[in-house]
Structure 1
Amino acid sequence: MMSRADIVDVIGQFVRLKKRGANYMANCPFHNEKSPSFNVSPAKGIYKCFGCGKAGNVVSFIQEHEKLTYPESIRWLADYYKIALQETERTPEQQQQQQAGEALRILNEYAANYFHDFLLNSEEGQLIGLSYFKQRGFRKEIIERFRLGYNAEYNDQFFQTSVAKGHNKDLLEKAGLIKNRNGIYHDVYRGRVIFPIQSMTGRILGFGARILKSNEKAPKYINTPENELYLKSKILYGMYQSRTAIGKQDECFLVEGYTDVISLHQGGVENVVASSGTSLTEDQLRLIGQLTRNLTILYDGDAAGIKAALRGLDMALGQSFNVQLVLLPDGEDPDSFIQKSGVTRFHEFVKEHKQDVISFRLQIGLIDVGSDPVKKSKLVNEIAESISRINKAEDFALQEHYIKTASAKLQVDETGLVNLVNKYIRDRIDNDSRHKQRKEEAAAPANISEEDLAMAAAYGEGEPELIMAKPIAKDEPQEWALLRILIEYGHLAYDGFESVAKMIEERVDTAMIENQLVGKLYNEYFDHFTHFGSIPEIHYFINHPEPDIRTRMATLLHLNADISPNWKEKYGIDSVSGPMNYVVDVDSTMSYFELKKILAIQDQLTQLLHTEQDPAKQQRMMMKFMELRKMEREILKRHQQVVFKSLKSK
């Protein structure tokens, strides 16, 4: 399974990847960012975000992005690649645990199939539900693509059928499919057409349902209540059906309703999603941003549509989206417009009537302002705040253009508007700084000052004075770097040894490694060789059974183990990554590892010498110190630079 899964292919279903050298880059799907820091390595089968730190393999990506368990992610990949899985028999406890984790997903899938089947194959579904969709002009293939459905008017038909199939009453209620009134259960969606709401991978997250009969007491649309799967602010209707077209055309149309999405798809406009009546949220923008930064919002010209269009747009500007807005003719919505005018006229109209956010806000705002100075002042502030969201460093010319346009249309002094824009920028920076400072203060450990330890000792006539550097901090970075070269290059040849792995095994005893996880993996590496007679391949660690190790490996193997600039300057030790330079990489990493260990032991001896009173023990410590000093010189000599520091030079 893992050998068949192409990480670029899979992640490319969710994120717009761009090739950069041997790897691929994208804006991270796990946090909001303006510049791409999400890196995918096809050779190693891993991803790493250098912004938020998320890392892993193809399975962990599916787990994290789709909120699935490890077994569910494996099954998702098996379905994607059309591979039949042979699952081992599970214990009753394991079955119960799996059922608890997948219960809502299983129930939603069952409900979607039930409503779709009832629409197409029952007499009531065909007479009422199917007739409504056909009246809207929806063809059979579009009904099937969006898995549209219908629920019977009879009070509890779905409930009774579901319970008979073994579904839990409490879970049915949690999913928003039934309600319990005084011990009597009834269907929530009775007499309604059903719009299943799907994730980016097609999983059913919840439902929207429209009533067909006129009923003033009942809302026209109802949705699934929020639960573990259905979080309205993180969902865009139609994303599953539209994601490929959005990425291919590098533009996303945003509309309000389910039928707008479906009608546009049927008309040939497939790069479209719906916010389902909510204002734009950061999570929704993140979903779109994974595929494109070009967002065109389509709204009808009524007051509600205009207000909905204005909400959340500053957030999109702040995230460097290229936001355009199109107001359709009075009395038209995207559904009715494309059905009347066709796809060619639709694209012509959009092209002719696209407006940027600032121009749109000015047009709408000036109509409302009239001659009211209070309203005008409010509009000037709103426009200034919107302009301040534009990244000045990246889009200076665009911000300047908007300021000139806005000052002319609002008839205000351009310098004054510039000052107001800068005020909003300063206020936001100050707020962000205060927030960051509070977070750092809450997370910061107690300050511990360290005094430089120094020792000057003469070892015979003409010997230079020696001084110890600051006590070495934890050796974790060097231990992880050692593990990295072992995993990456262990199988390759090394001068004087059968392989890099054999050289490391001879020169590094497990006792030298303080980090427990590094020690565990170090031993696991050589245990694998002992038991199987072969060095473990890199994918053994990338696809490790323990999820924490998989994540750590993805981070470790994506990073170049760069040496601290201070160490480069002081000791001339450098790190050069890449298959053609692996010997340099191995030598540098080993030298750095050994030098850190030597200096750490020297530091311990220095501290002991301060307190030891026994002359014989002092002599043994001094001899050991000299031995370590010699080893240090040898390491430095290999890198053609010997460094001495005297007490006087301090």
Structure 2
Amino acid sequence: MRIDPETVERIKQTAAVADVIGDYVTIKKKGANYWACCPFHGEKTPSFSISPAKGIYKCFGCGKAGDSVRFIMDMEGLGYGEALRHLAKKYGIDIQEEEMTDDQLVRQNERESLLIILEYAKEYFKKQLYDTDEGKSIALPYFKERGFSDATLQSFDLGYSPEAWDAFLKAALKQGFTQEIIEKAGLVTQKNDDGKVYDRFRNRVIFPIHNVSGKIIAFGARILRNDAKNQAKYLNSPETEVYHKSATLYGISQAKNEIRAKDVCYLVEGYTDVISLHQAGIKNVVASSGTSLTIEQIKLIGRFTQHVTVLYDGDSAGIKAALRGMDLILEEGLQVNLVVFPEGNDPDSFVRKIGSEAFIDYIKKEAKDVISFQANLFKEEAGDDPFKKAEMIKEMVQSISKIPDAIQRSLFLQKTATMMRMDEDVLLAELNKIQLKKMKGASQDPQQISAQQYAEVRQLIEPTFADEDEPAQVQNLAYYQELECVRLLINYGHLEINPEKAPGLTVVHYLIDELEGTVFQTPLFIRILDLCKQEFGAQRAPKPDFFLHHTDEEIQSFSINISSEKHALSSEWKDKHEIRVNTDEELLEDLAYKNVLRLRKVYNDQHLQEILSKLDSLKADAAEMDQVLLEFIRLKEIQKNISQELGTVIEK
């Protein structure tokens, strides 16, 4: 069942954004808005603005934006429907649901069935651990040897799967679960080619994997038999409708609040590392579960903190894995340090050996940023070999190039020059070469790089390169006019463009009529314009709330960004200084009219450039040349007329 629109609207109206956010952070009223330190990134000066009037929030530091539902989705790691139910429960709102389509029902029912069978499996494995002779004699001793307390076993829902071939399958079938859903949950697997299925996790201790909100989505399992030569030591659930390994971190449900509170996430490799540290009181820790770190996992961490400390084994394989992960973390804009333990130790064994306080002290003392760590490592490996040293310095600069913040890049470059006794200009030239290569290989996103940016970087590397070598302008000139158009539609689409001259004519009506046949070039703006057309076709003029509370996160975030002002105009301009500043609402007719003209002009200019390119490539075909020239003259006349209307310089 799906929550009906009226109930959704009632939840949004009741769940005041300031009240919802106030449960998580301290908010202070300032003027019409509230301000707080952003809960999504570490900061000491509040840049997180909450607008009760609009029912939205926006952080001017990290860019996070949304409404009360989006806030709960991000803070608790819930889906849209789950967040609505969370708020409905908080405010005592009865959920009214409506029928879904057959496809929606099938998809939801399958997902809910998977979560139910996985929850049942968790309880089954726990029962096997505590209530059977096999579990108490084989699995419990293993956990006790690791030093795990009963409270820890319960906190992480640890369990045991018996040795029998199909014990779980039989138990689940007896409970009424179908073999199809058991297979889809990854709890059984086929035996050879005969089509028979058996339990996937046999004779293994079980580590349930939770999603951010605490629901069981998969399992990890460790074998206990030492003579099992042909079996993997660790086994994980396969990918399912609810489990995507690359987007999952082990322990995130238990760690998220502590990560947010401590403003740092400790990243380890294995399940037992997480559990041992958690038991030692170090709860802001998650694991990549033995897989290579992914962008999705880093973004998941980034929802709770911008600071990551990687805790990896001291062997060469662990160090290399850590370095690969650090580059990815840097690229996502997070701040990362690395701690390597003495050889033969991992976080699990080391914290048990020295205790939690000494462990924390060790991290504080040994944590190194990526450049310091690489410098120490490379000096040791390269020795006096200048060729090896040069290659390693290039690797360091390559890591620095991943950092999106220009100031941080510059500081790390200075640090590298000092540590490696290099001329900073030489390193800067190397960095610029890497940046230029990135730009050349970039996709054809019209907003990604302009010719000016390209030339500036190129000039730093080869100051003498000729102007004729400059690339064609790749910045989409229409972008800014399309941006202005959707800004008007989102903020003022429902208003009359001129109540005196044209009563009843709204901005959305005017712009849709004037833009008939026009195709935007920016995908997001195309979607927003299509939404406006749909609403107008249904005889509705969409108000800002339609966009500010839209379920599409990209549309909602964009709409909040262009609707939010970091600084409001003081009333003293008018009251004290008697200076009156016209508002957009008072200038709607002029703004909309000129926006349409500028859009037409920029599209016309683009067409002119295409014609000029065509003229350059034409051969001696006189008839074709004449036709192209006539089109060129027609476009130049349009350009001249629009320029005159806009009052701009007329092109010759």
C-alpha distance in structure 1 between counterparts of 2:93 and 2:135, whole Å:
35
Q: CA deviation at 1:45?
A: 3.2
CA contact (8 A) 2:492 2:543 kept: no
Q: 2:435: which partner in 1?
A: 425
Q: CA deviation at 1:48?
A: 6.0
Q: 2:259: which partner in 1?
A: 246
Q: 2:210: which partner in 1?
A: 198
Q: 2:54: which partner in 1?
A: 44
Q: Are residues 1:183 and 2:172 paired?
A: no
Task: Name the SS for the 1:285 alignment partner.
Answer: helix
C-alpha distance in structure 1 between counterparts of 2:595 and 2:397, whole Å:
58
Would the alpha carbon gap of residues 505 and 413 (structure 1) be closer, same or farther in structure 2, given more than 3 Å must change? Answer: closer
Q: CA deviation at 1:401?
A: 3.7
Paired letter, 1:431: G
Would the alpha carbon gap of residues 312 and 598 (structure 1) be closer, same or farther in structure 2, given more than 3 Å must change? Answer: closer
Q: 1:126: which partner in 2?
A: 136
Paired letter, 1:121: D
Task: Name the SS for the 1:324 alignment partner.
Answer: strand
CA contact (8 A) 1:385 1:424 kept: yes
Scaled by the length of structure 1, the TM-score of the pair is: 0.67
Q: 2:156: which partner in 1?
A: 146
Higher relative contact order at CA 8 Å, sep ≥6: structure 1 or structure 2? Answer: 1
1:507 pairs, out of 503, 507, 511, with 503
C-alpha distance in structure 2 between counterparts of 1:219 and 1:472, whole Å:
56
2:299 pairs, out of 283, 286, 290, with 286
Q: Deviations over 1:139-195 (max 9, x none)?
A: 122222212121121111111122233333233223321112222110111111111
Would the alpha carbon gap of residues 63 and 340 (structure 1) be closer, same or farther in structure 2, given more than 3 Å must change? Answer: closer
Question: Residues 498-577 of structure 1 correspond to what in structure 2 (within 5 A)?
Answer: 507-509=503-505, 512=509, 515=512, 547=551, 556=559, 559-560=562-563
Would the alpha carbon gap of residues 483 and 331 (structure 1) be closer, same or farther in structure 2, given more than 3 Å must change? Answer: same
Q: Are residues 1:364 and 2:377 paired?
A: yes
Identity %: 38
Alpha-carbon RMSD: 5.3
Task: Name the SS for the 1:326 alignment partner.
Answer: strand
Paired letter, 2:315: D
Q: 1:616: which partner in 2?
A: none
Bigger Rg, structure 1 or 2 = 1
Q: Deviations over 1:318-360 (max 9, x none)?
A: 3443322222123221112212211111122122222221222
Paired letter, 1:592: L
Q: Are residues 1:212 and 2:234 paired?
A: no
Q: 2:362: which partner in 1?
A: 349
Q: CA deviation at 1:264?
A: 0.7
C-alpha distance in structure 2 between counterparts of 1:250 and 1:119, whole Å:
36
CA contact (8 A) 2:371 2:416 kept: no
Task: Name the SS for the 1:311 alignment partner.
Answer: helix
Paired letter, 1:212: L
Q: CA deviation at 1:270?
A: 1.1
Q: CA deviation at 1:212?
A: 1.1
CA contact (8 A) 1:484 1:557 kept: no
CA contact (8 A) 2:74 2:303 kept: no
C-alpha distance in structure 1 between counterparts of 2:310 and 2:28, whole Å:
25
Q: Deviations over 1:381-438 (max 9, x none)?
A: 2123223334573226632442234423xxx666544433333233234333766689
* Structure 1, unaligned runs of 5 or more: 30-35, 450-470, 487-500, 528-535, 563-574, 602-642
Would the alpha carbon gap of residues 18 and 436 (structure 1) be closer, same or farther in structure 2, given more than 3 Å must change? Answer: farther
Q: 1:627: which partner in 2?
A: none
Q: Deviations over 1:33-53 (max 9, x none)?
A: xxx999764553335689999
* Structure 2, unaligned runs of 5 or more: 1-10, 452-472, 513-529, 575-579, 598-644
C-alpha distance in structure 2 between counterparts of 1:221 and 1:187, whole Å:
15
C-alpha distance in structure 2 between counterparts of 1:593 and 1:400, whole Å:
51
Q: Deviations over 1:269-300 (max 9, x none)?
A: 11111122233322222222222222212122
Paired letter, 1:354: A
CA contact (8 A) 1:202 1:240 kept: yes
How many residue pairs get matched? 540
Q: CA deviation at 1:137?
A: 1.3
Paired letter, 1:193: V
Scaled by the length of structure 2, the TM-score of the pair is: 0.67
Q: 1:274: which partner in 2?
A: 287
Question: Residues 425-444 of structure 1 correspond to what in structure 2 (within 5 A)?
Answer: 425-432=435-442
Would the alpha carbon gap of residues 439 and 147 (structure 1) be closer, same or farther in structure 2, given more than 3 Å must change? Answer: farther
Paired letter, 1:206: A
Task: Name the SS for the 2:355 alignment partner.
Answer: helix
CA contact (8 A) 2:493 2:543 kept: no
Would the alpha carbon gap of residues 484 and 202 (structure 1) be closer, same or farther in structure 2, given more than 3 Å must change? Answer: farther
Q: 2:118: which partner in 1?
A: 108
C-alpha distance in structure 2 between counterparts of 1:483 and 1:122, whole Å:
67
Paired letter, 2:128: F
Q: 1:568: which partner in 2?
A: none
CA contact (8 A) 2:280 2:351 kept: yes
Task: Name the SS for the 2:345 alignment partner.
Answer: coil
Task: Name the SS for the 1:167 alignment partner.
Answer: coil
Q: 1:592: which partner in 2?
A: 588
Q: CA deviation at 1:265?
A: 0.9
